[in-house]
Structure 1
Amino acid sequence: MRKEKDISDDQLEHIIDALEDQQPVTDKETQDMAELLLHAGECCSSGMFDADSAWQSFKHKANNKRRRIYVAWSAVAAAILLLFVYRSVVYWTDDLLPLTLFTAVDGQNNIVLNYGNENTVIIVDSCIDLTSAKNDKHIKYSIQTPVGKNVHVLLPDSSMIQLNAKSSLTYQLSAVSGQRNVTLDGEGYFDVKRDTLHPFIIQTRGVKAKVLGTSFNIRNYEREQLHITLVKGSLALEDSSNSQKIMKPGEDAELLINGDLLIKETKVENSVLWTQGYFVFDNIPLSEMMAEIGRWYNLNIKATNKEVTTRHIHFRCHRSLSIDTIVDILNEVGYFKLERKDNTIFIK
């Protein structure tokens, strides 16, 4: 969609006449030309300049007059027109293509357990109990949850894990040390069985958490900051540079962009209420909140107003609410608009 107005015909005529002029230009004329070109550039960057029209007009006049253009001014003209075209492409692309925050998933809608040397796959309805399974060093367990579902997992060592929607976890005893090795993508709440002889080690996005017996939450979704929240016990964290930090209950560790871990006090209940069926968004960007909603209801989330996606939100509701009800509630906030079309929610 075009903005308020294009550059005027007189201004366009002035630019083309100057570029076609065979006579040398004075310093004053050069300064005037620079100011005019600067104005044209501003028009272009704001979406007011029609590069197509300018080029067609330029060609038409050049053919009619059959006038020779100085090489220097030809280069300037070409550079300016290329700048107009480039800026117009960037402008229109940014304006027309929405930012995708979450993409709905087709197909698999079941919780999947994968284990054993033969990669046996079991489709699970609600929970996974592996306490009767053999805690064998040669068996690797893998669990995946789809969008819109979470699952309770009892590991062979009796540790309990609750996995949130669209998450995956692997568990295996080390063949050498006997330590319990876990990897996590997505979100999980852990209540780890204490065993001093077999430390519980979690690897997630370059961070290693060493556990003896403790309860904590890890959130590690794509495009979001990694957060580890300690409920009780203690955690020894190690980042990619092998720097170690000890967490205390009531603290949250956030992985910064530079790879460092920032530990600070937090409201623990806000991080774990999802295990009781709630959405809890406490001062987080709208982009993360809407991605979470998309993950639960399996909806495409797109933003046509990118500025509002960085605003921080305080919002809490039960996951049993319909998506239309949640959209209506959020639209009462006032500074953004959600619009649902079929399987897509647009942020405007």
Structure 2
Amino acid sequence: MDKKEDKHKVAEEPMEHTLDCMSRLETMSDEEWNEFFSDKNSMSDCSFLLGYKEAKLRKEAIKPNAEKAWQHFHTSYIVPETTRRHMGIWIYPLATIAAILAIVFILKFVHLNSSDIDVSRPFMAFTADHAPQLITITEDGSRPNIIEGRQQRDGILINDKEADFTHASFAKKMIRSIATPRGKSYKIILNDGTMVLLNAESKLIFPTSFVGKQRNVRLIGEAYFKVKHDTAHPFIVQTEKVNTRVLGTEFNLRAYPTSDTHVTLISGSVIVCNRSNNKAIKLCPGQDATLLGNKDFDITTVDTDYYVQWKDGYFYFDDLPLVEVMKELGRWYNVDIEICDNSLLSYRLHFIAERQASIDQVVENLNGFSYLSATRQGQKIIISKKMHLKSD
């Protein structure tokens, strides 16, 4: 046996011993867990094993496209929930436990090349748009016009807060679209009396008057609908992925391009149809339909406050992943939000605040969490762990 082969044999022996211990982590009793973590040799073996497996994987595996992986994470917004064992008497360094769990991950999912992903890389939860943030109206495909002050024309009343089309008078049907920027909402009363409240960074495309058997509008972003009842003329909201059909009801529809589509029913009933395969489901009040992977619907009974409190001027986040909360705050305040420690991505928040609060007040509220540190640098908010957790 030459020296090179001998090195590999020496490396394999402690690795196999530690691997045997690692395979039993999930079934260990409290006493066995305590003994394992208090054993310095075990910690040393784990560190040795991690270094060995990293070196071996980096040598043999095809180098992954890290940028593509992060881009996929960003666009799909799938935030894994990690189980942490650091309560009560388990006063062990979080970094050590994370390293051990990383070893298990490497051993069980070698083919994913996870050891080549830089988990320390900051994650941009939201990127600000530095263009002027203005509410605009577009007439029949023309250039957008800024909504400023009070306007009245053809029976339409428009001001900075709402547009009322109930008395619109046109010889033929005209198409309008109203778009909100980040940080602003806007109320639209359609020709049939239906009320639509647009959330930030959203657009509604609609006719000045409804003609025909259906009342059709198109939404990009998020809106709360209070539909005027009319059994003879169904009201249909079209988004990129779903059509929502109602007769007269209240519901919230969330369809931002980079997020999951949600239809949340407050009262009445709606039928939601997947545009890609025509599968349809019917919702009852208090239910939310989420389109999964553009194929199937996930129907759940939810706390509707989360989906509609925004219309009453509040942020309401109940057990929501940190990154989702940061996206909502970023969209409203139009600021860059960077999460420095990616281990925070699996944390979930219960958070309520007024949307009219200043960005500094929101930062102060975020710092009230025992594990979060939020700092503002101009138009950028940086999220990291509290200092006492970093030293663990």
Q: Which category of TM-score, normalised to the shorter sequence, fits these structures?
A: 0.7 to 0.9
Aligned equivalent of 1:33: 8
TM alignment of 1:1-348, pairs within 5 A: 25-26=1-2, 30-33=5-8, 36=11, 42-43=50-51, 80=59, 94=118, 97-116=121-140, 118-119=142-143, 121-124=145-148, 125-134=160-169, 138-172=173-207, 177-239=212-274, 240-257=276-293, 259-348=295-384
Change in 2 beyond 3 A, CA 1:343/1:191: same
Q: 1:313-339 CA deviation, whole Å, 9 max, x = no partner?
A: 111111122222222222221223222
CA, structure 1 residues 318+250, in 2 after alignment: closer, same or farther (shift >3 Å)? same
Q: Deviations over 1:296-320 (max 9, x none)?
A: 1111011121221232211111112
Describe the shift of the 1:264–1:162 C-alpha distance in structure 2 as closer, same or farther (beyond 3 A). same
- Distance 1:128-1:173 versus aligned 2 partners, 3 A rule: closer
Q: TM-score by structure 2 length?
A: 0.65
Report the CA distance shift for 1:117/1:43 in structure 2 as closer, same or farther (over 3 A): closer
User: 1:113 and 1:88, CA in 2 relative to 1: closer, same or farther beyond 3 A?
Assistant: closer
Shift of 1:33: 3.2
**How far, CA to CA, are the matches of 2:65 and 2:309 in structure 1?**
47
Give 1:281 shift: 0.5
Relative to structure 1, the CA distance from residue 104 to residue 117 in structure 2 (aligned partners, 3 Å threshold; closer, same or farther) is closer
Counterpart of 1:11 in structure 2 is: none
Q: Secondary structure at the match of 1:213?
A: coil
| Paired residue total | 292
In the alignment, the residues of structure 1 paired with residue 340 and residue 368 of structure 2 have an alpha-carbon distance, to the nearest angstrom, of: 19
Segments of 5+ residues of structure 2 without an aligned counterpart are: 16-46, 68-113, 149-159, 385-392
Q: Mean Cα displacement is larger for which, 159-168 or 336-345? A: 336-345
Which SS does the other structure have where 2:363 is aligned?
helix
Paired with 2:220 and 2:117, the residues of 1 have a C-alpha distance of 32
Distance 1:268 1:282 in 2: 11
Residues 208-261 of structure 1: CA distance to partner in whole angstroms, max 9, x if unpaired?
111111110112224332211111111011113211111111111112235211
Instruction: Find the aligned partners of 2:171 and 2:263 in 1 and give their Cα distance.
Output: 28
For 2:64 and 2:279, the matched residues in 1 are separated by 45
Conserved 8 A contact 2:305-2:316: no
Taking the aligned partners of 2:316 and 2:324, their CA distance within structure 1 comes to 12
CA contact (8 A) 2:136 2:144 kept: no
Q: Pick which of 289-298 and 175-184 moved more.
A: 175-184
Aligned residues of 1:137 and 1:172 also touching (Cα < 8 A): no
Larger Rg: 1
SS at match of 2:311: helix
| Structure-1 separation of matches of 2:283 and 2:375 | 42
Look up the SS of the partner of 1:337 in the other structure: strand
The Cα offsets for residues 1-48 of structure 1, whole Å up to 9 and x where unpaired, read as xxxxxxxxxxxxxxxxxxxxxxxx54x8525336559999943877xx
Q: Given that residues 319 and 348 in structure 2 are in contact (C-alpha distance below 8 angstroms), is that contact kept between their aligned partners in structure 1? A: yes
1:217, 1:175 → 2: CA distance? 21
RMSD: 3.4
| Alpha carbons 1:186, 1:221 under 8 Å: kept | yes
Distance in 2 separating the partners of 1:107 and 1:158: 33
Moved more, 145-154 or 303-312: 303-312
Q: 1:166 to 1:34 in 2, by over 3 A?
A: farther
Deviation by residue 1:273-312 (Cα, 9 ceiling, x = unmatched) = 1111101001111111111111111110111212212322
> 2-side partners of 1:187 and 1:86: how far apart?
36
Return the alpha-carbon distance in structure 2 between the equivalents of residues 211 and 136 of structure 1.
27
Hey, what's the Cα distance between the residues in 1 that align with 2:120 and 2:277?
41
Q: Which runs of 5+ in 1 are unaligned?
A: 1-24, 50-75
- Per-residue deviation at 1:266? 1.6
Aligned 8 A contact 1:44 1:88 in 2? no
CA–CA distance in 2 between the matches of 1:339 and 1:87? 31
Aligned residue for 1:43, secondary structure, equals helix
Change (3 A) 1:193 1:91: same
